[in-house]
């Protein structure tokens, strides 16, 4: 049977390509990104729309990154430094690891994809939690590997509803497990794991199973018991911590992130790294923004204030949300979220329905500026009362 979903160009299909694809590809559901502002404005003829859908930094780029980008703009006819020497050295110094411990990626998703392609194949499996970052499933399946998905902590859990249940995850690890994915804090729930919880888990994982500790939102977290995955690298050569410049550092459009692991694991992972995967502009901007402490401090403050603003509004509306330490809040609308989302879109506001995470009544809202948040709150009140 032909797959008409794929015929967006209207081309007649003469070959059933999906019968010829590698293991896992035919059943793969591609990632659904947040709707771009420009697309919404084009579709609905709106102006001045706002996007609170992809956990981007609402402050715009750091001035230091901006200046660095302008400085290298005249060099983009050249390939970048494939080793990313300068950025890797700076990251290595900040993380107190050897430069060989750093794996650069076109976003941290690229690093996670490299781990998957190196270790996963048909016949083996990866372990992760339900309601965790969508790319774990996609990369696992793209490699033809099996997914063992742990149920999350129960909805009525006193501290961490929907959080990772590390005991349940550990119980799923078997002889065929090659990789475990953990997001801390987790997306789309915003829940987090403490130092002692992660420490106990790492101890229980066989030393030849790779643990990916995805810390995409670590810069937002102020909780005292929140761990820094780098602290465990010396004891766990099977651990890779991933970080990104897409969220707090405000460079999502440039695609730059990194992994930190034992140099040995890093060199194995980099066997499948695409040449020049960290581009010239991204390398320069990332290096510059690492020096912008004021930008990060402001980002954290705006996030904390915006988080309080949204929580107060949801409380007033009688809506329950998941406890989040990241830069987004996931709220239970107590009704199907898709039509509410359509209403918000028609008011020029893009948020994220997360039915693809099997949460049909929830909406994930990235924390914006005060003005963006209030526009969203007013629009949501209107949608829920209509
Ligand atoms: C956003 C995000 C990432 C990183 O995305 P990149 O832009 O590819 O760096 C990784 N993990 C989680 C959980 C995320 O939410």
Q: φ and ψ at 150, to 5 degrees?
A: -85, 140
Convert the pLDDT of each residue in 250-287 to its tens digit: 999 999 999 999 999 999 999 999 999 999 999 999 99
The yes-or-no verdict on residue 32 having pLDDT over 90 is no
Output 181 or 32, whichever has higher pLDDT.
181
Q: φ and ψ at 318, to 5 degrees?
A: 70, 25
Ligand 1 contacts CB of residue 133 (under 6 A): yes
Q: What pLDDT shows up at residue 46?
A: 86
282 Cα: distance to centroid of ligand 1 (angstroms) = 16
108 Cα: distance to centroid of ligand 1 (angstroms) = 6
Centroid of chain to Cα 287: 21
Q: What pLDDT shows up at residue 9?
A: 59
Residue-range domains of the chain with CATH: 37-53+294-385 (3.90.1150.10), 63-289 (3.40.640.10)
pLDDT cut 90: percent of the chain above it: 89
Longest CA–CA span in the chain (Å) reads 59
Nearest to 283 by CA among 254, 312, 246, 243: 254
Q: Are 166 and 129 a contacting pair, CB within 8 Å?
A: no
Residues 6+ apart with CB under 8 A from 171: 150
Nearest to 269 by CA among 120, 128, 124, 111: 111
259 Cα: distance to centroid of ligand 1 (angstroms) = 12
The yes-or-no verdict on residue 5 having pLDDT over 60 is no
Q: What pLDDT shows up at residue 1?
A: 40
Ligand 1 nearest-atom number relative to CA 183: 13
Ligand 1 contacts CB of residue 215 (under 6 A): no
Name the average pLDDT for the chain: 95
The yes-or-no verdict on residue 2 having pLDDT over 50 is no
Convert the pLDDT of each residue in 42-77 to its tens digit: 888 888 899 999 999 999 999 999 999 999 999 999
**Rg of the chain over CA atoms, in angstroms?**
21
What's the whole-model pTM score? 0.95
Q: Are 32 and 354 a contacting pair, CB within 8 Å?
A: no
156 Cα: distance to centroid of ligand 1 (angstroms) = 27
Ligand 1 contacts CB of residue 306 (under 6 A): no
Average pLDDT over residues 188-201: 98
8 Cα: distance to centroid of ligand 1 (angstroms) = 28
Ligand 1 nearest-atom number relative to CA 108: 9
Ligand 1 pocket: which of 115, 135, 250, 286 to mutate (most atoms <8 Å of CB)? 135
Q: What pLDDT shows up at residue 6?
A: 52
Scanning 75-133, the segments in alpha helix (DSSP H) are: 85-95, 108-119
Indicate the pLDDT class of residue 3, thresholds 50, 70 and 90: very low
Convert the pLDDT of each residue in 334-363 to its tens digit: 999 999 999 999 999 999 999 989 999 999
Ligand 1 contacts CB of residue 165 (under 6 A): no
Nearest to 162 by CA among 153, 171, 175: 153
Indicate the pLDDT class of residue 4, thresholds 50, 70 and 90: very low
Ligand 1 contacts CB of residue 249 (under 6 A): no
Ligand 1 pocket: which of 54, 212, 242, 244 to mutate (most atoms <8 Å of CB)? 244
Q: How far apart are CA 139 and CA 113, in angstroms?
A: 6
114 Cα: distance to centroid of ligand 1 (angstroms) = 14
Convert the pLDDT of each residue in 215-254 to its tens digit: 999 999 999 999 999 999 999 999 999 999 999 999 999 9
Identify the residue whose C-alpha is closest to ligand 1 atom 11.
216
217 Cα: distance to centroid of ligand 1 (angstroms) = 8
Ligand 1 contacts CB of residue 373 (under 6 A): no
Convert the pLDDT of each residue in 85-112 to its tens digit: 999 999 999 999 999 999 999 999 999 9
């Amino acid at each position: 049977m032909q797959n008409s979903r794929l015929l967006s160009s209207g081309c007649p299909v003469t070959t059933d390509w999906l019968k010829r694809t590698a293991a896992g590809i035919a059943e793969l559901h591609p990632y659904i990104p947040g709707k771009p502002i420009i697309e919404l404005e084009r579709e609905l003829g709106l102006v001045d729309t706002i996007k609170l859908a992809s956990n981007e930094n609402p402050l715009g780029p750091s001035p230091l990154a901006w200046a660095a980008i302008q400085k290298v703009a005249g060099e983009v006819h050249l390939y970048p430094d494939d080793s990313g020497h300068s950025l890797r050295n700076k990251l290595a110094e900040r993380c107190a690891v050897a430069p060989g411990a750093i794996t650069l990626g076109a976003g941290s998703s690229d690093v996670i994809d490299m781990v998957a392609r190196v270790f996963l194949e048909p016949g083996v499996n990866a372990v992760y939690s339900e309601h965790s970052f969508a790319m774990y499933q996609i990369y696992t399946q793209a490699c033809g590997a099996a997914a063992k998905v742990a149920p999350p902590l129960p909805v009525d859990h006193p501290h961490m509803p929907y959080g990772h249940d590390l005991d349940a995850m550990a119980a799923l690890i078997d002889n065929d497990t090659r990789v475990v994915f953990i997001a801390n804090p987790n997306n789309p729930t915003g829940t987090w794991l403490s130092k002692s919880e992660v420490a106990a888990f790492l101890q229980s994982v066989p030393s030849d199973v790779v643990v990916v500790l995805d810390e995409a939102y670590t810069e937002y977290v102020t909780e005292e018991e929140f761990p820094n995955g780098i602290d465990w690298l010396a004891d766990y050569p099977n651990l890779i911590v991933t970080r990104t410049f897409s969220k707090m550092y405000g460079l999502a459009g440039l695609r730059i992130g990194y992994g930190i692991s034992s140099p040995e694991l890093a060199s194995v992972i980099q066997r499948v790294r695409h040449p020049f995967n960290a581009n010239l502009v991204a390398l320069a901007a990332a290096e510059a923004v690492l020096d912008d402490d004021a930008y990060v401090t402001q980002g954290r403050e705006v996030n904390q204030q915006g988080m309080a603003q949204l929580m107060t509004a949801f409380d007033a509306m009688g809506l329950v949300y998941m406890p989040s330490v990241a830069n987004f809040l996931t709220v239970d609308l107590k009704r199907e979220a898709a039509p509410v989302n359509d209403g918000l879109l028609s008011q020029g506001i893009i948020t994220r329905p997360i039915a693809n995470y099997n949460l049909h009544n929830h909406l994930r809202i990235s924390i914006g500026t005060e003005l963006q948040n209030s526009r969203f709150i007013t629009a949501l009140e209107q949608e829920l009362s209509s």
